[in-house]
Amino acid sequence: MNASLKKVTRADTEKMDGADPIAHLRDRFTLPEGDIYLDGNSLGALPLGVMERLERAVLKEWGQGLIRSWNDADWYPAPQRAAAAIARLIGAGADEVIVCDSTSVNLFKVLIGALRMRKDRKIIVSEIGNFPTDVYINAEAAKIMGCELRCVMPEEVEQAIEDAGENLAAVQLTHVHYKTGRVYDMAGITKRVQELGGLAIWDLAHSAGALPVDLNACNADFAIGCGYKYLNGGPGAPAFVFVAKRHIEAMNQPLPGWHGHAEPFAFTQTYKPHPGIDRMLTGTASQLATLALETALKVFEDVDMNVLRQKNMALGDLFIALAEQELGGMGFNLASPKDPKARGSQVSLTHENGYAIMQAVIARGVVGDFRAPDILRFGFAAPYVRYVDIWDAVAHIRDVMETTEWKRPEFNERRAVT
């Protein structure tokens, strides 16, 4: 740490919590006693009310209401209701977003749909190091549509867009990088892509519920994102898909199922897409999961995303300052941008023994995650992470290093999910 700066103490962080305008949001969650949960970017915490909603849905609506509940308990429009709540967080109209399927499946749907809108163009630009599902789906969509996928380093994306020129069909990028937290300039990139006649597809997995995204202000064409990370929808929660209103009519998605039909209950043999965003639906919604997500989204009902963003930037800055102060000379390096505006709601450190260190830290109740080959990732879900949690987390990391606790054999055994 810079010697001219005052050392940050635990008392300082307690004061920061005292002045936090959204500290009360923590009371909207069930959190395990004693844990410091820094993994809301992988699986958000459990919001109050979700358990009760699921209990009612299972025991009363399913158990007693049975099939009648699709109408009587208003199950059928749950994807649209959840989508309206997400739309508010991502700067979209409620009629441009729908909740369904997984992020991966939704990416396939919008990407093929986008490529079909640019049939004469043959280049897709994406990033080396994009989330694997994005890379696999980009590659497969390119194969299916006879396109070329150009994956380049993040700093080469803008040049790759220029190089594709009139042959640019689509650019597919993840707004906040899952490993480093680096944020792309959504407005600037989208503008240039469109000037060249291409379409921009944004993966908001690490943005929705963490940053004040404004898809329409950026004139984004398409977007997709997860329900289980910062939106707290629960493990495997349904994802969402955004199609800008101007594109809906031309959107010809490749998984046309009966729920995307204009009249699903007419049971006709010919597919006629729904005139609106519902055409992105394929089959029956995972109903319990959709109701859980819908209930979880109530956390955000009265939240100003700008205030939330200020807090997660401050939490990240604090983590970086404390890492410099407490973990110097221990082999850690910062893998995230230092500038909070260039960083999402996470900070990642690299360390050659990252896996074992993270397991040792998790065993102490400080829950982050590990991303191969060497990244220790800490997410700061501002609704429930406190400043004092950051101080305590860094103190535990220092202790794990000083005691060489991480060397214990049980922390060096690889488990299926990291």
DSSP annotation of 135 reads H
Binding window for ligand PLP (CB under 6 A); candidates: 30-38, 58-66, 130-138, 149-157: 130-138
Catalytic residue check, 228: yes
In whole angstroms, give the CA distance from residue 330 to residue 306: 35
Which of 20, 61, 134, 389: binder of ligand PLP (CB under 6 A)? 134
User: Is 229 part of the annotated catalytic residue set?
Assistant: yes
What angle (nearest 5°) sits at the alpha carbon of residue 98, between those of residues 95 and 102? 160
The one segment of 200-208, 243-251, 265-273, 317-325 that binds ligand PLP by CB under 6 A = 200-208
Does position 103 interact with ligand PLP (CB under 6 A)? The reply is yes
Q: Is residue 99 close enough to count as binding ligand PLP by CB under 6 A?
A: no
| 308 touches ligand PLP (CB under 6 A) | no
Nearest Cα neighbor of 118 from 184, 186, 200, 174 is 200
332 near ligand PLP, rule: CB under 6 A: no
SS3 320: helix
203 binds ligand PLP (CB under 6 A): yes
**Cα–Cα distance measured from residue 329 to residue 401, given in angstroms and rounded to the nearest whole number:** 11
Whole-angstrom distance, CA of residue 190 vs CA of residue 192: 6
Helix orientation angle between 10-18 and 387-402, rounded to the nearest 10 degrees: 160
Question: CA 257, CA 283: separation in Å to the nearest integer?
Answer: 5
Site for ligand PLP in 11-50 (CB under 6 A): none
| 104: contact with ligand PLP by CB under 6 A | yes
Q: Is residue 311 annotated as a catalytic residue, yes or no? A: no
Q: Is 143 a catalytic residue?
A: no
- Residue 134 CB, nearest distance to ligand PLP (Å)? 6
Q: At its nearest, how many Å lie between ligand PLP and the CB of residue 194? A: 23
Asked whether position 242 contacts ligand PLP by CB under 6 A, the answer is: no
Establish if 239 lies at the interface with ligand PLP (CB under 6 A).
yes
Q: Of 29, 75, 108, 178, which lies in the binding site for ligand PLP, with binding defined by CB under 6 A?
A: 178
Contact between 205 and 106 under an 8 Å Cβ cutoff? The reply is no
Cα separation, 379 vs 184, whole angstroms: 18
Among 131, 378, 380, 384, binds ligand PLP (CB under 6 A): 131
Residues near ligand PLP (CB under 6 A), total: 13
Nearest to 82, CA basis, from 234, 268, 191: 234
What minimum distance in Å lies between the beta carbon of 174 and ligand PLP? 4
Please report how close the Cβ of residue 205 comes to ligand PLP at its closest, in angstroms. Answer: 3
Could you give the angle at the alpha carbon of 316 between the alpha carbons of 314 and 319, nearest 5°?
Answer: 110
Could you give the CA distance from residue 87 to residue 82 in angstroms, rounded to a whole number? 9
Closest listed residue to residue 214, CA positions, set 247, 244, 179: 244
Q: Quick check: 174 binds ligand PLP (CB under 6 A)?
A: yes
Task: Considering the complex, state which of residue 104 and residue 325 has its C-beta at the smaller distance from ligand PLP.
Answer: 104
Closest among 86, 345, 384, 75 to 233, alpha carbons compared: 86
226 makes contact with ligand PLP (CB under 6 A):
yes
* Residue among 150, 279, 377, 386 flagged as catalytic: 377
Catalytic residue among 28, 118, 229, 309: 229
Q: Which residues bind ligand PLP (CB under 6 A)?
A: 102-104, 131, 133-134, 174, 178, 203, 205-206, 226, 239
Catalytic site positions: 131, 203, 228-229, 377
